[in-house]
Amino acid sequence: MKKILLALLPAMIIFGSVQAQDQLPSNPEPGKCYVKCITPDEYKTETITVADKPAYNTLKVTPAEYKTVTEKIMVKPATKKFVYKPAVFETYYDSYESEQGYNKLAVVPAKLKTVSKEIEVQPVTSGWEYGVYSDCKSDDPRDCRVLCFKEYPAVSETVYSKEVDTKATTTATKVPGKTSKVKMQKIVTPASVEEIVIPAEYQTITKKVLVKDEATTSTEVAATTKTISKEVLVKKGGVTVWEEVDCKLTTLNILPIYYELGSARLTSASKRVIDNKLLALLNAKPNIRIELNSHTDSRGEASSNQALSQARANSVVSYLTAKGVNKSRLVARGFGETKLKNKCADGVSCSEAEHQKNRRTEFRVIGF
């Protein structure tokens, strides 16, 4: 038992600390959820008259008066023109060696002659040989065999071959060079410059001369006012209260608000959903705050999708504030393409209906 009490002691200390810091709801019901809220300030709308435009003067300008005069002016001063006369040339032709002569060589091939030479191809040979005695009277062939020693003379062969009779030489023949002609020019009359004087040019112009300068006349314009509405604090909020809410509303709930591709515009159907779900809840629970989380599909750049999702959350906030909801009760957050509801990430082929499920806004009830 002592061990159990020691184990429960930290939890009792923490629970006591929570009670000391926050007053919990009185008489809570099992299974119910409560959100700690701070009551908002209460305002009333008053109309006041303020100055729209102050009294002021308008000035009217009287145009200037002119008279027309003529005047002769020099539009181009006198100058000189120089005319260039090019040189005159005479054409003639001059010869030059375009290709030098050379010695053309002709080859006289070597001459060969045929010579013969006796070569011993087989030397003198000798040896024993068996023969048969022709007058042998015996029936046994071995009795008629004769052994003789024989010698055969050497065998020679005549071989024919070629040898140089006259070595190869060359003969030289002189080939003359070539000459060509080139077209050339020589000066007959040198170039020269002729100076021509060009007189000045004049033109008669018409111009307006100021006779009377512009002037102004003043007219008084009366001040105007307009009526505006302003909010006046009636009751200061800031009181901590507990609002009972459906437990499912404290976690993220998908609103059936689906956006067009690349757009943060709220359709008529989306506005009806906001009226029925969010506006009704905010009016019924005047102290709660709502967090709005908006998302995009995976198509497009991640940075652009982040900005688009924030714009979608802001569009819901703008719609609710236009319906009279205090902006301090709304929190808008954009998550871009970071929290997809299905497989449709970058590079995955998906239908338009599957992509649309990711273009959504979710909400949950939060406290202060």
**pLDDT, tens digit, 9 for 90 and up, residues 265-304:** 999 999 999 999 899 989 988 888 899 999 999 999 999 9
CA angle 322, 323, 327 (to 5 degrees): 65
CA–CA separation, 217 and 64 (whole Å): 14
Residue 159 has pLDDT above 90, yes or no: no
Mean pLDDT, range 10-36, rounded to an integer? 55
CA distances from 217 to 60, 62, 63 (A): 5, 8, 11
The percentage of the chain sitting over the pLDDT mark of 90, rounded to a whole number, equals 26
The count of C-alpha atoms lying within 13 angstroms of the C-alpha of 107, restricted to the half-sphere facing its C-beta, is 5
What pLDDT sits at residue 332?
94
What pLDDT sits at residue 16?
40
Query: Reduced to 3 states, what is the DSSP secondary structure of residue 304?
Result: helix
What pLDDT sits at residue 86?
92
- pLDDT band with cut points at 50, 70 and 90 for residue 154: confident
- pLDDT band with cut points at 50, 70 and 90 for residue 100: confident
What pLDDT sits at residue 35?
66
The segment(s) of the chain belonging to CATH 3.30.1330.60 are: 248-366
Q: Looking at mean pLDDT, say which of 252-256, 258-262, 281-285, 294-298 comes out highest.
A: 294-298
Average pLDDT over all residues of the chain:
81
CA–CA separation, 130 and 147 (whole Å): 5
On whether the pTM is more than 0.85, the answer is no
Query: Reduced to 3 states, what is the DSSP secondary structure of residue 326?
Result: coil
- pLDDT band with cut points at 50, 70 and 90 for residue 5: very low
- pLDDT band with cut points at 50, 70 and 90 for residue 17: very low
CA–CA separation, 104 and 102 (whole Å): 6
How would CATH label the architecture of 248-366? 2-Layer Sandwich (3.30)
Q: Residue 246 gets which letter from DSSP?
A: -
Of 87-101, 189-203, 215-229, least confident by mean pLDDT is 215-229
Residue 110 has pLDDT above 80, yes or no: yes
**Residues 281, 291 contacting (CB under 8 angstroms):** no
CA–CA separation, 99 and 179 (whole Å): 7
Mean pLDDT, range 197-214, rounded to an integer? 88
Residue 151 has pLDDT above 70, yes or no: yes
In this predicted model, what pLDDT tens digit does every residue of 298-347 receive, in sequence order?
999 999 999 999 999 999 999 999 999 988 889 999 999 999 999 999 98
- pLDDT band with cut points at 50, 70 and 90 for residue 31: low
207: amino acid identity, one letter: K
Of 31-35, 255-259, 265-269, 289-293, least confident by mean pLDDT is 31-35
Residue 13 has pLDDT above 60, yes or no: no
- pLDDT band with cut points at 50, 70 and 90 for residue 142: confident
The percentage of the chain sitting over the pLDDT mark of 70, rounded to a whole number, equals 82
**Residues 312, 264 contacting (CB under 8 angstroms):** yes
